[in-house]
Amino acid sequence: MKKTIINILEEVDLNQPIFIEALPGIGHVGKLAADHIIDELGATKFAEIYSPSFPPQVMVDEEGIIETMKNEFYYLKSAGEEERDYLFLVGNTQGLSPEGQYEICGLILDLAENHGVKEIYTLGGLATGQAVEKTKVFGAATNKEFAEKLKEHDVTMRSADGGIIGASGLLLGMGTLRGMEGACLMGETPGYFIDAEAAKAMLNVLIKLLKLEVDTEKLDERAEETRKMISKAQQMEQEMMERMTLKPGEEDLRYIG
């Protein structure tokens, strides 16, 4: 496995779908929201991505069953008031290296382009590191038209506080080179817990923008379940770091014959 591969599970025919990306990131905000829409609206999985740039590991679920690192595509046909088709990208990881991120995002955009995508929304969190009183939703857009649309929906344009790192940024940036336009929505979050409030605030903006109907109440339950997995993630990252930093005082015996 030297290259990223996309396994197509079902051939689907979509009509200029709106592409929504929400891979794991700050406060789990984007992922919570996207998993929720997929679940509530009954989207169907049709493709999986495996990449040598994903972390070289597997996850273990609550019952001790192993789960591979992957990204997944779902589709939805004729949804919401405007009867639009949708393409969703979710998963349990992102590429680790810059080169990997670019390769994976390139393949994702190939698939999106082949399905006629012209419009992208990427979802994430914006960590403030502080408690949040009333959750703001921040945004950035690929052009002024989308920026205006965001402002009409009470999105605060992210103007003096940095860039957008990872797939949420790259897909929009590289998408413009293929004639796709769109925006990134970021739920404000303290950033150190699974933040259902941030996800709900962001989701409420998104569904208004797209004229979708999604019950956001169940997001709290979803957040609760996700919270149970947190300690797992922390321990895992710690192990990863220990492996990567190879502190000599610790007995990582990788090099012994």
Nearer to a copy of itself by C-beta: 80 or 107?
107
- Considering CB under 8 A, how many residues would be counted as binding a copy of itself? 100
Least spacing, CB of residue 87 vs a copy of itself, in Å: 19
Q: Which stretch binds a copy of itself (CB under 8 A): 65-73, 79-87, 200-208, 214-222?
A: 65-73
* Positions 213 through 232 that interact with a copy of itself (CB under 8 A): 226, 228-232
Calculate the alpha carbon distances from 87 to 44, 47, 76, 121 in Å: 10, 11, 7, 10
Q: Which of 52, 80, 118, 149 binds a copy of itself (CB under 8 A)?
A: 52
| Torsion sign (Cα): 97, 7, 186, 236 | negative
Q: Is 200 in the site for a copy of itself (CB under 8 A)?
A: no
Nearer to a copy of itself by C-beta: 103 or 135?
103
Q: Which two tokens stand for residue 79?
A: 């949804």
Check: CB of residue 96 under 8 Å from CB of residue 24.
no
Q: What is the C-alpha separation between 94 and 101, in angstroms, rounded?
A: 7
* Positions 76 through 115 that interact with a copy of itself (CB under 8 A): 92-103, 105-106
Check: CB of residue 76 under 8 Å from CB of residue 40.
no
Per-position x/- string for 20-49, each x denoting binding to a copy of itself as judged by CB under 8 A, each - no binding? ----xxxxx--x------------------
Q: Is 256 in the site for a copy of itself (CB under 8 A)?
A: yes
Least spacing, CB of residue 78 vs a copy of itself, in Å: 30
Q: What is the C-alpha separation between 86 and 104, in angstroms, rounded?
A: 20
- Apex 159 CA angle, 153 and 165, nearest 5: 95
Nearest to 105 by CA among 173, 13, 29: 173
Nearer to a copy of itself by C-beta: 194 or 214?
194
Per-position x/- string for 155-184, each x denoting binding to a copy of itself as judged by CB under 8 A, each - no binding? --xxxxxxxxxx--xx-xxx-xx------x
* AA letter at 66: I
